[in-house]
A and B are shown apart, each in its own frame.
Chain A
């Protein structure tokens, strides 16, 4: 069964460093998403991407964040200068109808 994959599973970085989180959505899906979940809290929407552009973004998704679909398979989330409060689980999702989530990347900012 096709699935969304994410790499790395765990990323540790120093405050102020740039990180790139990678996702490979399900191949025939057209809509892509990033969500984050701070430990013990609910899952929050960050950004959606459709037709090679951002469809919607939340107030969390400020200028430090960017997304890209550099080729036909990958979908990336970049955080330019990480802060302590960016520590969270980051989920990629894709959909044709129902959204399917990847296993997540645990980002730890020290």
Chain B
């Protein structure tokens, strides 16, 4: 079974600084997706960034980028120029690439990010 581990329950960053959230996962599969979702106090789940395991290039989305290390099964999220609106719970998630079936997302336990002035 696939598992996703986020070892940092809470992180804090000053506004305009950079922060990295860690995620590791365990799978025996070779084709999968990895995601970071943001959950603000409203509790909506918002997709931040997605990485396909077959792509060597790390995904980037504006101020958000990932460091994907497939051999190490590591998938960290870097937030640059942090803003107050980035304060939220961040969940790392895994999904098997499996065409024809509705592959589920497996989530980590989340990291709560605080952004301070």
Contacts and interface: CB of A to CB of B under 8 A. Distances in A.
Nearest to B42: A103
Contact of A91 (B35, B45, B50, B110): B45
A57 to B, nearest CB: 10
A56 B96 CA distance: 13
11 contacts: A33-B102, A33-B105, A55-B101, A89-B43, A95-B102, A98-B35, A98-B50, A101-B37, A101-B45, A104-B43, A104-B44
B108 A42 contact: yes
A56 B43 contact: no
Between A37, A41, A43, A95, the greatest number of chain B beta carbons within 10 A of the residue's beta carbon is seen for A43
Given A43-B107, A103-B42, A55 B50 contact: no
A38 to B, nearest CB: 12
A49 B102 contact: yes
Contacts of B35: 98
Interface in B74-107: 91, 93, 95, 101-107
B7 to A, nearest CB: 14
A103 B40 CA distance: 11
A82 to B, nearest CB: 20
B22 interface: no
Given A100-B47, A104-B43, A104-B44, A42 B102 contact: no
A99 B97 CA distance: 12
Interface residues of A, number: 26
Nearest to A100: B47
B109 interface: yes
B91 to A, nearest CB: 6
Contact of B104 (A56, A89, A100, A106): A56
A69 to B, nearest CB: 12
Interface string A16-57: 000000000000000111010100011111001110000110
A42 to B, nearest CB: 5
A97 to B, nearest CB: 9
Contacts of B95: 99
A56 B35 CA distance: 20
Nearest to A53: B102
